[in-house]
Structure 1
Protein backbone atom coordinates (compact mmCIF):
# COMPACT_ATOMS: atom_id res chain seq x y z
CA UNK A 1 0.00 0.00 0.00
CA UNK A 2 1.40 3.40 -0.93
CA UNK A 3 0.20 6.50 0.79
CA UNK A 4 0.16 9.63 -1.30
CA UNK A 5 0.15 13.21 -0.24
CA UNK A 6 -3.12 14.43 1.10
CA UNK A 7 -4.32 17.84 -0.07
CA UNK A 8 -4.14 20.53 2.56
CA UNK A 9 -7.18 22.47 3.55
CA UNK A 10 -8.11 25.56 1.58
CA UNK A 11 -6.06 28.66 2.46
CA UNK A 12 -7.38 30.86 5.21
CA UNK A 13 -8.94 34.16 4.23
CA UNK A 14 -6.37 36.93 4.34
CA UNK A 15 -6.98 39.63 6.97
CA UNK A 16 -8.28 42.93 5.69
CA UNK A 17 -5.53 44.93 7.43
CA UNK A 18 -1.80 44.34 7.24
CA UNK A 19 -0.23 42.92 10.38
CA UNK A 20 2.86 44.98 11.39
CA UNK A 21 6.14 43.11 11.39
CA UNK A 22 6.93 44.14 14.94
CA UNK A 23 6.05 41.97 17.91
CA UNK A 24 2.59 42.26 19.37
CA UNK A 25 2.25 44.52 22.39
CA UNK A 26 1.45 42.76 25.64
CA UNK A 27 -0.61 44.26 28.42
CA UNK A 28 1.89 43.40 31.13
CA UNK A 29 1.93 46.15 33.74
CA UNK A 30 4.49 45.64 36.54
CA UNK A 31 3.03 43.84 39.51
CA UNK A 32 4.37 46.34 42.06
CA UNK A 33 2.55 48.77 44.30
CA UNK A 34 4.93 51.60 43.39
CA UNK A 35 4.43 51.09 39.57
CA UNK A 36 8.09 51.87 38.99
CA UNK A 37 8.23 55.08 41.04
CA UNK A 38 11.16 53.79 43.09
CA UNK A 39 9.28 53.89 46.38
CA UNK A 40 9.97 50.79 48.47
CA UNK A 41 7.13 48.39 49.08
CA UNK A 42 6.24 48.42 52.79
CA UNK A 43 7.40 45.28 54.63
CA UNK A 44 4.60 43.66 56.66
CA UNK A 45 5.12 43.97 60.40
CA UNK A 46 5.26 41.04 62.78
CA UNK A 47 6.80 37.59 62.47
CA UNK A 48 6.35 35.57 59.29
CA UNK A 49 3.88 32.74 59.68
CA UNK A 50 3.32 29.58 57.64
CA UNK A 51 0.05 31.08 56.45
CA UNK A 52 1.77 34.16 55.02
CA UNK A 53 4.35 31.97 53.26
CA UNK A 54 1.60 29.79 51.79
CA UNK A 55 -0.18 32.86 50.44
CA UNK A 56 2.56 33.42 47.83
CA UNK A 57 3.65 30.01 46.50
CA UNK A 58 6.48 29.78 44.01
CA UNK A 59 5.25 28.87 40.54
CA UNK A 60 7.31 27.60 37.60
CA UNK A 61 7.93 29.99 34.74
CA UNK A 62 5.40 29.71 31.96
CA UNK A 63 6.58 28.11 28.72
CA UNK A 64 7.35 30.74 26.11
CA UNK A 65 4.87 30.54 23.25
CA UNK A 66 6.25 30.28 19.71
CA UNK A 67 6.19 33.51 17.73
CA UNK A 68 6.59 34.71 14.15
CA UNK A 69 9.85 36.52 14.91
CA UNK A 70 12.05 34.27 12.75
CA UNK A 71 9.51 34.11 9.94
CA UNK A 72 9.22 37.90 9.92
CA UNK A 73 13.00 38.21 9.68
CA UNK A 74 12.86 36.19 6.46
CA UNK A 75 9.93 38.29 5.22
CA UNK A 76 11.87 41.50 5.85
CA UNK A 77 14.82 40.06 3.91
CA UNK A 78 12.72 39.74 0.76
CA UNK A 79 10.73 36.52 1.06
CA UNK A 80 7.02 36.85 0.28
CA UNK A 81 5.91 33.38 1.43
CA UNK A 82 7.62 31.60 4.32
CA UNK A 83 6.81 28.02 5.30
CA UNK A 84 7.40 26.27 8.59
CA UNK A 85 8.12 22.55 8.16
CA UNK A 86 8.38 19.61 10.55
CA UNK A 87 8.34 15.82 10.25
CA UNK A 88 6.76 13.05 12.27
CA UNK A 89 7.20 9.29 12.07
CA UNK A 90 10.89 9.26 11.23
CA UNK A 91 11.72 6.75 13.96
CA UNK A 92 8.64 4.54 13.64
CA UNK A 93 8.85 0.86 12.69
CA UNK A 94 5.71 0.95 10.56
CA UNK A 95 3.60 3.35 8.54
CA UNK A 96 4.50 6.49 6.65
CA UNK A 97 6.81 9.35 7.44
CA UNK A 98 4.82 12.60 7.32
CA UNK A 99 5.90 16.21 6.82
CA UNK A 100 3.72 19.18 7.73
CA UNK A 101 3.97 22.60 6.09
CA UNK A 102 2.28 25.85 7.15
CA UNK A 103 2.76 28.99 5.04
CA UNK A 104 2.66 32.55 6.42
CA UNK A 105 3.12 35.99 4.90
CA UNK A 106 3.50 39.55 6.19
CA UNK A 107 -0.21 39.75 7.03
CA UNK A 108 -0.30 36.62 9.18
CA UNK A 109 -1.14 37.32 12.79
CA UNK A 110 0.00 35.48 15.92
CA UNK A 111 -0.73 31.77 16.02
CA UNK A 112 -3.67 30.38 18.04
CA UNK A 113 -3.07 30.12 21.80
CA UNK A 114 -1.67 26.80 22.98
CA UNK A 115 0.28 25.95 19.84
CA UNK A 116 3.72 24.44 20.51
CA UNK A 117 5.82 21.41 19.66
CA UNK A 118 3.36 18.55 19.15
CA UNK A 119 5.43 16.29 21.42
CA UNK A 120 4.65 18.58 24.37
CA UNK A 121 0.89 18.31 23.88
CA UNK A 122 -1.53 15.55 24.81
CA UNK A 123 -3.49 13.89 21.97
CA UNK A 124 -6.63 15.72 23.10
CA UNK A 125 -4.85 19.09 23.17
CA UNK A 126 -3.42 18.53 19.69
CA UNK A 127 -6.79 17.57 18.25
CA UNK A 128 -8.44 20.60 19.83
CA UNK A 129 -5.99 22.89 18.01
CA UNK A 130 -6.59 21.48 14.52
CA UNK A 131 -9.72 23.51 13.60
CA UNK A 132 -7.98 26.79 14.47
CA UNK A 133 -4.78 25.77 12.67
CA UNK A 134 -6.74 24.98 9.53
CA UNK A 135 -7.80 28.63 9.50
CA UNK A 136 -4.41 30.09 10.46
CA UNK A 137 -1.74 31.09 7.96
CA UNK A 138 -2.45 31.26 4.25
CA UNK A 139 -1.90 27.60 3.30
CA UNK A 140 -1.08 24.31 4.92
CA UNK A 141 -0.60 20.67 3.90
CA UNK A 142 0.82 17.35 5.07
CA UNK A 143 2.84 15.17 2.69
CA UNK A 144 3.55 11.48 3.22
CA UNK A 145 6.03 8.85 2.05
CA UNK A 146 4.93 5.25 2.56
CA UNK A 147 6.83 2.43 4.22
CA UNK A 148 7.40 0.93 0.75
CA UNK A 149 8.97 4.20 -0.38
CA UNK A 150 11.11 4.35 2.75
CA UNK A 151 12.37 0.83 2.02
CA UNK A 152 13.07 1.72 -1.62
CA UNK A 153 14.84 5.06 -1.26
CA UNK A 154 15.84 5.38 2.41
CA UNK A 155 14.47 7.54 5.19
CA UNK A 156 16.29 10.79 4.30
CA UNK A 157 15.14 10.70 0.68
CA UNK A 158 11.65 9.73 1.89
CA UNK A 159 11.57 12.80 4.13
CA UNK A 160 12.55 14.91 1.11
CA UNK A 161 9.84 13.26 -0.97
CA UNK A 162 7.15 13.86 1.68
CA UNK A 163 8.28 17.46 2.14
CA UNK A 164 8.20 18.06 -1.61
CA UNK A 165 4.68 16.67 -1.79
CA UNK A 166 3.52 19.05 0.92
CA UNK A 167 5.22 21.99 -0.79
CA UNK A 168 3.56 21.10 -4.08
CA UNK A 169 0.11 21.21 -2.47
CA UNK A 170 0.63 24.65 -0.90
CA UNK A 171 2.18 25.96 -4.13
CA UNK A 172 -1.04 25.01 -5.92
CA UNK A 173 -2.92 27.11 -3.36
CA UNK A 174 -0.77 30.24 -3.01
CA UNK A 175 2.27 29.90 -5.28
CA UNK A 176 5.87 28.77 -4.74
CA UNK A 177 7.30 29.21 -1.25
CA UNK A 178 10.37 31.46 -1.02
CA UNK A 179 11.86 30.21 2.24
CA UNK A 180 11.42 27.29 4.63
CA UNK A 181 12.16 27.19 8.35
CA UNK A 182 13.09 23.56 9.00
CA UNK A 183 13.25 22.07 12.48
CA UNK A 184 16.55 20.45 13.43
CA UNK A 185 20.18 20.71 12.34
CA UNK A 186 20.18 18.52 9.20
CA UNK A 187 18.81 19.88 5.93
CA UNK A 188 17.10 16.80 4.50
CA UNK A 189 14.84 18.91 2.25
CA UNK A 190 17.43 20.27 -0.20
CA UNK A 191 18.45 17.70 -2.85
CA UNK A 192 22.11 16.69 -3.12
CA UNK A 193 24.16 19.17 -5.12
CA UNK A 194 25.86 16.63 -7.38
CA UNK A 195 24.66 13.64 -9.36
CA UNK A 196 21.28 11.99 -9.27
CA UNK A 197 19.24 12.23 -6.12
CA UNK A 198 19.32 8.46 -5.72
CA UNK A 199 22.24 6.48 -7.16
CA UNK A 200 21.17 3.12 -8.59
CA UNK A 201 22.85 -0.04 -7.29
CA UNK A 202 23.45 -2.46 -10.21
CA UNK A 203 22.53 -5.42 -8.01
CA UNK A 204 19.37 -3.79 -6.73
CA UNK A 205 15.99 -5.21 -7.69
CA UNK A 206 14.52 -3.57 -10.80
CA UNK A 207 11.41 -2.46 -8.91
CA UNK A 208 13.49 -0.63 -6.30
CA UNK A 209 15.51 1.08 -9.04
CA UNK A 210 12.28 2.21 -10.71
CA UNK A 211 10.94 3.54 -7.39
CA UNK A 212 14.11 5.54 -6.87
CA UNK A 213 13.88 7.00 -10.35
CA UNK A 214 10.21 7.90 -9.86
CA UNK A 215 10.96 9.64 -6.55
CA UNK A 216 13.85 11.49 -8.21
CA UNK A 217 11.56 12.76 -10.97
CA UNK A 218 8.80 13.74 -8.54
CA UNK A 219 11.13 15.87 -6.44
CA UNK A 220 12.65 17.55 -9.48
CA UNK A 221 9.15 18.25 -10.84
CA UNK A 222 8.42 20.53 -7.89
CA UNK A 223 9.89 23.29 -10.04
CA UNK A 224 11.19 25.58 -7.29
CA UNK A 225 13.82 25.34 -4.59
CA UNK A 226 13.12 27.48 -1.52
CA UNK A 227 16.03 28.56 0.63
CA UNK A 228 16.12 26.59 3.85
CA UNK A 229 16.89 27.99 7.29
CA UNK A 230 17.71 25.28 9.82
CA UNK A 231 16.78 25.90 13.44
CA UNK A 232 17.13 23.52 16.37
CA UNK A 233 13.93 23.39 18.45
CA UNK A 234 12.13 25.48 15.84
CA UNK A 235 8.95 23.59 16.73
CA UNK A 236 9.09 25.35 20.13
CA UNK A 237 10.05 28.85 18.99
CA UNK A 238 8.68 29.35 15.44
CA UNK A 239 4.92 29.54 15.19
CA UNK A 240 4.69 28.17 11.64
CA UNK A 241 6.89 25.16 12.50
CA UNK A 242 4.94 24.43 15.68
CA UNK A 243 1.69 24.57 13.71
CA UNK A 244 3.15 22.25 11.06
CA UNK A 245 4.24 19.77 13.73
CA UNK A 246 0.74 19.61 15.24
CA UNK A 247 -0.99 19.14 11.87
CA UNK A 248 1.49 16.45 10.76
CA UNK A 249 1.24 14.58 14.06
CA UNK A 250 -2.57 14.61 14.09
CA UNK A 251 -2.84 13.47 10.46
CA UNK A 252 -0.31 10.66 10.83
CA UNK A 253 -1.86 9.49 14.11
CA UNK A 254 -5.26 9.35 12.42
CA UNK A 255 -3.74 7.36 9.55
CA UNK A 256 -2.18 4.84 11.93
CA UNK A 257 -5.44 4.47 13.85
CA UNK A 258 -7.22 3.69 10.57
CA UNK A 259 -4.51 1.22 9.51
CA UNK A 260 -4.77 -0.49 12.91
CA UNK A 261 -8.24 -1.69 11.95
CA UNK A 262 -6.74 -3.44 8.92
CA UNK A 263 -3.77 -4.82 10.89
CA UNK A 264 -5.06 -5.24 14.47
CA UNK A 265 -2.18 -7.34 15.81
CA UNK A 266 0.30 -4.54 16.44
CA UNK A 267 -1.52 -1.97 18.58
CA UNK A 268 -1.01 0.90 16.15
CA UNK A 269 -4.07 2.69 17.50
CA UNK A 270 -1.99 3.43 20.61
CA UNK A 271 1.70 3.14 19.62
CA UNK A 272 1.23 4.76 16.15
CA UNK A 273 3.83 2.41 14.67
CA UNK A 274 6.63 3.26 17.08
CA UNK A 275 8.64 0.57 18.87
CA UNK A 276 6.63 0.21 22.07
CA UNK A 277 6.90 -3.01 24.07
CA UNK A 278 3.55 -4.32 22.81
CA UNK A 279 4.51 -3.56 19.21
CA UNK A 280 7.86 -5.33 19.55
CA UNK A 281 6.20 -8.34 21.19
CA UNK A 282 3.68 -8.57 18.33
CA UNK A 283 6.47 -8.33 15.75
CA UNK A 284 8.33 -11.19 17.38
CA UNK A 285 5.20 -13.29 17.56
CA UNK A 286 3.60 -12.56 14.18
CA UNK A 287 6.37 -11.11 12.03
CA UNK A 288 6.09 -7.90 10.00
CA UNK A 289 3.01 -6.68 8.19
CA UNK A 290 3.09 -5.24 4.64
CA UNK A 291 3.27 -1.77 6.24
CA UNK A 292 6.41 -2.39 8.30
CA UNK A 293 9.71 -0.90 7.18
CA UNK A 294 11.35 -4.21 6.35
CA UNK A 295 14.63 -2.59 5.27
CA UNK A 296 15.12 -1.60 8.90
CA UNK A 297 16.52 -3.87 11.59
CA UNK A 298 13.16 -4.81 13.01
CA UNK A 299 13.19 -6.54 16.42
CA UNK A 300 12.28 -10.04 15.20
CA UNK A 301 13.02 -13.45 16.69
CA UNK A 302 15.36 -15.54 14.55
CA UNK A 303 12.65 -18.06 13.68
CA UNK A 304 10.27 -15.27 12.65
CA UNK A 305 12.89 -13.39 10.65
CA UNK A 306 13.94 -16.52 8.80
CA UNK A 307 10.55 -17.73 7.79
Structure 2
Protein backbone atom coordinates (compact mmCIF):
# COMPACT_ATOMS: atom_id res chain seq x y z
CA UNK A 1 0.00 0.00 0.00
CA UNK A 2 1.28 3.50 -0.76
CA UNK A 3 2.34 5.47 2.30
CA UNK A 4 0.43 8.60 3.24
CA UNK A 5 2.73 11.56 2.62
CA UNK A 6 3.89 13.35 5.77
CA UNK A 7 2.70 16.95 5.82
CA UNK A 8 5.31 19.56 6.61
CA UNK A 9 4.92 22.41 9.09
CA UNK A 10 3.59 25.60 7.54
CA UNK A 11 3.39 29.34 8.26
CA UNK A 12 -0.41 29.60 8.37
CA UNK A 13 -0.69 30.17 12.12
CA UNK A 14 1.88 32.93 11.99
CA UNK A 15 0.11 34.60 9.06
CA UNK A 16 -3.23 34.46 10.85
CA UNK A 17 -1.76 36.01 14.01
CA UNK A 18 -0.07 38.67 11.93
CA UNK A 19 -3.38 39.57 10.25
CA UNK A 20 -4.81 39.99 13.75
CA UNK A 21 -2.12 42.52 14.61
CA UNK A 22 0.31 40.24 16.46
CA UNK A 23 3.82 40.52 15.07
CA UNK A 24 6.63 39.51 15.38
CA UNK A 25 5.90 35.85 16.18
CA UNK A 26 8.59 33.67 17.78
CA UNK A 27 8.66 29.89 17.68
CA UNK A 28 10.27 28.11 20.63
CA UNK A 29 11.32 24.49 21.15
CA UNK A 30 13.65 22.57 23.44
CA UNK A 31 15.81 19.47 23.01
CA UNK A 32 17.69 17.14 25.30
CA UNK A 33 15.01 16.68 27.91
CA UNK A 34 15.41 12.90 28.09
CA UNK A 35 19.21 12.74 28.01
CA UNK A 36 21.41 11.38 30.79
CA UNK A 37 24.16 13.92 30.09
CA UNK A 38 24.61 17.46 28.88
CA UNK A 39 22.37 20.49 29.13
CA UNK A 40 18.84 20.97 27.98
CA UNK A 41 18.74 23.50 25.12
CA UNK A 42 16.01 25.79 23.83
CA UNK A 43 15.88 27.99 20.76
CA UNK A 44 13.67 30.92 19.83
CA UNK A 45 13.29 31.90 16.17
CA UNK A 46 11.49 34.74 14.39
CA UNK A 47 11.24 33.88 10.70
CA UNK A 48 10.98 36.42 7.90
CA UNK A 49 7.45 36.00 6.45
CA UNK A 50 8.79 36.77 2.98
CA UNK A 51 11.74 34.37 3.23
CA UNK A 52 10.75 31.18 5.06
CA UNK A 53 13.25 28.39 4.25
CA UNK A 54 11.90 25.37 2.38
CA UNK A 55 11.94 21.95 4.03
CA UNK A 56 11.47 22.99 7.67
CA UNK A 57 10.32 20.07 9.78
CA UNK A 58 10.49 18.56 13.25
CA UNK A 59 14.24 18.12 13.77
CA UNK A 60 13.74 14.45 14.73
CA UNK A 61 12.36 13.69 11.26
CA UNK A 62 15.29 15.24 9.39
CA UNK A 63 18.57 13.58 8.40
CA UNK A 64 21.58 15.15 10.13
CA UNK A 65 22.96 16.70 6.91
CA UNK A 66 19.62 18.38 6.17
CA UNK A 67 19.36 19.66 9.75
CA UNK A 68 22.79 21.22 9.45
CA UNK A 69 21.95 22.87 6.13
CA UNK A 70 18.64 24.22 7.44
CA UNK A 71 20.35 25.47 10.61
CA UNK A 72 22.64 27.65 8.50
CA UNK A 73 19.69 28.87 6.42
CA UNK A 74 17.66 29.79 9.50
CA UNK A 75 20.57 31.76 10.96
CA UNK A 76 21.17 33.53 7.67
CA UNK A 77 17.55 34.28 6.74
CA UNK A 78 15.67 34.51 10.05
CA UNK A 79 14.90 37.91 11.55
CA UNK A 80 16.13 36.84 15.00
CA UNK A 81 17.52 33.62 16.48
CA UNK A 82 18.64 32.81 20.03
CA UNK A 83 19.71 29.66 21.89
CA UNK A 84 19.91 29.06 25.64
CA UNK A 85 21.19 26.16 27.72
CA UNK A 86 20.56 24.96 31.28
CA UNK A 87 23.36 22.78 32.62
CA UNK A 88 23.18 19.26 33.99
CA UNK A 89 24.02 20.58 37.47
CA UNK A 90 21.11 23.02 37.32
CA UNK A 91 18.81 20.29 36.02
CA UNK A 92 19.71 18.27 39.13
CA UNK A 93 18.89 21.28 41.30
CA UNK A 94 15.56 22.38 39.82
CA UNK A 95 14.34 19.27 37.86
CA UNK A 96 14.14 18.78 34.11
CA UNK A 97 10.72 20.39 33.63
CA UNK A 98 11.76 23.62 35.32
CA UNK A 99 15.10 23.55 33.50
CA UNK A 100 13.33 23.21 30.13
CA UNK A 101 11.01 26.12 30.92
CA UNK A 102 13.97 28.19 32.10
CA UNK A 103 15.85 27.52 28.87
CA UNK A 104 12.80 28.64 26.88
CA UNK A 105 12.48 31.87 28.86
CA UNK A 106 16.20 32.57 28.40
CA UNK A 107 16.07 31.96 24.66
CA UNK A 108 13.07 34.26 24.30
CA UNK A 109 14.75 37.01 26.34
CA UNK A 110 17.91 36.73 24.22
CA UNK A 111 16.18 37.53 20.91
CA UNK A 112 17.40 40.73 19.29
CA UNK A 113 13.78 41.55 18.35
CA UNK A 114 11.08 41.44 21.03
CA UNK A 115 8.16 39.28 19.82
CA UNK A 116 4.51 40.15 20.38
CA UNK A 117 3.47 36.50 20.62
CA UNK A 118 5.13 33.09 21.00
CA UNK A 119 4.31 29.61 19.74
CA UNK A 120 5.83 26.90 21.94
CA UNK A 121 6.08 23.18 21.27
CA UNK A 122 4.32 20.91 23.75
CA UNK A 123 1.65 21.49 26.37
CA UNK A 124 3.66 23.50 28.88
CA UNK A 125 3.68 27.30 28.58
CA UNK A 126 6.40 28.91 30.75
CA UNK A 127 5.16 31.38 33.35
CA UNK A 128 6.30 35.00 33.38
CA UNK A 129 6.92 35.31 29.64
CA UNK A 130 7.48 38.82 28.37
CA UNK A 131 4.58 38.42 25.91
CA UNK A 132 1.51 36.22 25.46
CA UNK A 133 1.70 32.90 23.67
CA UNK A 134 0.34 29.40 23.32
CA UNK A 135 1.64 25.87 23.67
CA UNK A 136 0.93 23.57 20.72
CA UNK A 137 1.15 19.79 21.06
CA UNK A 138 3.36 18.46 18.24
CA UNK A 139 3.96 22.08 17.31
CA UNK A 140 7.27 21.25 15.66
CA UNK A 141 5.35 19.29 13.00
CA UNK A 142 2.69 22.01 12.57
CA UNK A 143 4.32 25.45 12.80
CA UNK A 144 7.26 26.51 10.64
CA UNK A 145 8.53 28.81 13.38
CA UNK A 146 8.54 26.03 15.98
CA UNK A 147 10.12 23.62 13.50
CA UNK A 148 12.89 26.16 12.85
CA UNK A 149 13.45 26.47 16.61
CA UNK A 150 13.63 22.69 16.97
CA UNK A 151 16.32 22.52 14.29
CA UNK A 152 18.39 25.32 15.81
CA UNK A 153 18.16 23.85 19.31
CA UNK A 154 19.04 20.33 18.10
CA UNK A 155 22.05 21.36 16.02
CA UNK A 156 23.37 23.75 18.68
CA UNK A 157 23.11 21.09 21.38
CA UNK A 158 24.60 18.33 19.19
CA UNK A 159 27.59 20.56 18.42
CA UNK A 160 28.07 21.25 22.12
CA UNK A 161 27.97 17.53 22.92
CA UNK A 162 30.60 16.92 20.24
CA UNK A 163 32.85 19.47 21.95
CA UNK A 164 32.25 17.77 25.31
CA UNK A 165 33.23 14.48 23.67
CA UNK A 166 36.67 15.91 22.95
CA UNK A 167 37.14 16.56 26.68
CA UNK A 168 35.60 13.23 27.79
CA UNK A 169 36.04 10.80 24.87
CA UNK A 170 35.33 7.68 26.93
CA UNK A 171 31.58 8.36 26.91
CA UNK A 172 31.03 8.78 23.16
CA UNK A 173 28.94 11.94 23.54
CA UNK A 174 29.37 12.85 19.86
CA UNK A 175 27.59 9.64 18.82
CA UNK A 176 24.60 9.52 21.21
CA UNK A 177 24.56 13.20 22.39
CA UNK A 178 23.79 12.08 25.93
CA UNK A 179 20.88 9.69 25.36
CA UNK A 180 20.74 6.34 27.18
CA UNK A 181 22.14 4.10 24.44
CA UNK A 182 23.76 0.76 25.33
CA UNK A 183 27.16 2.31 24.52
CA UNK A 184 26.53 5.21 26.87
CA UNK A 185 25.22 3.03 29.69
CA UNK A 186 28.24 0.73 29.37
CA UNK A 187 30.60 3.72 29.55
CA UNK A 188 28.89 5.00 32.70
CA UNK A 189 29.14 1.54 34.27
CA UNK A 190 32.85 1.40 33.45
CA UNK A 191 33.95 4.97 34.17
CA UNK A 192 31.27 6.39 36.45
CA UNK A 193 29.60 9.74 35.74
CA UNK A 194 31.38 12.71 34.16
CA UNK A 195 30.89 16.33 35.34
CA UNK A 196 28.25 16.64 32.61
CA UNK A 197 25.99 13.79 33.73
CA UNK A 198 22.59 14.39 35.35
CA UNK A 199 22.95 12.70 38.71
CA UNK A 200 19.23 12.99 39.46
CA UNK A 201 18.39 10.74 36.48
CA UNK A 202 18.11 6.97 36.73
CA UNK A 203 20.37 4.95 36.60
CA UNK A 204 22.86 7.64 37.70
CA UNK A 205 21.12 8.41 40.96
CA UNK A 206 21.74 4.79 42.03
CA UNK A 207 25.52 5.05 41.45
Q: Which residue of 2 aligns with 1:71?
A: 14
Q: Which residue of 2 aligns with 1:146?
A: 87
Q: Which residue of 2 aligns with 1:123?
A: 64
Whether 2:181 is the aligned partner of 1:288: answer no
Structure-2-length-normalised TM-score: 0.92
Give, in angstroms, the shift of residue 68 of structure 1. 0.9
CA separation of 1:299 and 1:293: change in aligned 2, threshold 3 A? closer
Q: Is contact 2:193–2:204 with CA below 8 Å preserved after alignment?
A: no
Q: Which residue of 1 aligns with 2:138?
A: 233
Structure with higher strand content: 2
Query: Which of 103, 112, 121 is 2:53 aligned to?
Result: 112
RMSD: 1.8
Whether 2:162 is the aligned partner of 1:257: answer yes
Structure with higher helix content: 2
Give, in angstroms, the shift of residue 231 of structure 1. 1.0
Larger RCO: Structure 1 or Structure 2 (Cα < 8 Å, ≥ 6 residues apart)?
A: 2
Q: Where does the alignment leave 5 or more consecutive residues of structure 2 unmatched? A: none
Give, in angstroms, the shift of residue 110 of structure 1. 5.4
C-alpha distance in structure 1 between counterparts of 2:106 and 2:122, whole Å: 20
**Residue-by-residue CA offset, 1:104-150 (whole Å, 9 max, x unaligned):** 4xx61252222100000111111121221112331011111111111
Give, in angstroms, the shift of residue 158 of structure 1. 1.2
Equivalent residues, number: 207
Deviation >6 Å, runs of 4+: none
Which structure: larger Rg? 1
C-alpha distance in structure 2 between counterparts of 1:93 and 1:183, whole Å: 22
SS of the residue 1:265 aligns to: helix
